[in-house]
Amino acid sequence: LAIPFVEEVGVRGSSQLFDRNEFVCKQFGEIIKARYSTRGGTLYMEIRTTARNPYELEKAVEEVVSSLKQ
C-alpha cells in the first residue's frame, strides 16, 4: 500500500483490552500518531512522513485516514 507523503509506519505497541472498531489519527509536530482498534485489540502506530510544511502534513493525515477506512 503506497500512501503519498508516508515514508515509514512503525508499530509502537498493542493492547487486547479495547473492543471497538475505530481509527484515530492525530499529528504531533512532524510525526503522525495513529490508533487502529478492532475486536481483536488495538495497534498504536507512529507514522513518519516526507511532508515539508504544515499543509503537506495535514494532507498526509487525510491520506492515511482515507486509505485505512477503505
Q: Does residue 30 form part of some domain?
A: yes
Is 53 part of any domain? yes
What does the pLDDT look like over 1-56, one tens digit per residue? 677 788 898 999 999 977 678 888 888 888 899 998 888 899 999 999 888 888 88
Contacting residues for 45 by C-beta, under 8 A, at least 6 apart: 9, 10, 11, 12, 33, 34, 35, 36
Kindly report the pTM of this predicted structure.
0.75
Q: Domains in the chain: how many in total?
A: 1
Residue 1 lies in a domain: no
- Higher pLDDT: 66 or 1? It is 66
Tell me whether residue 31 is in a domain: yes
> What range defines the domain where residue 17 resides?
6-68
CB 5 within 8 A of CB 60: yes
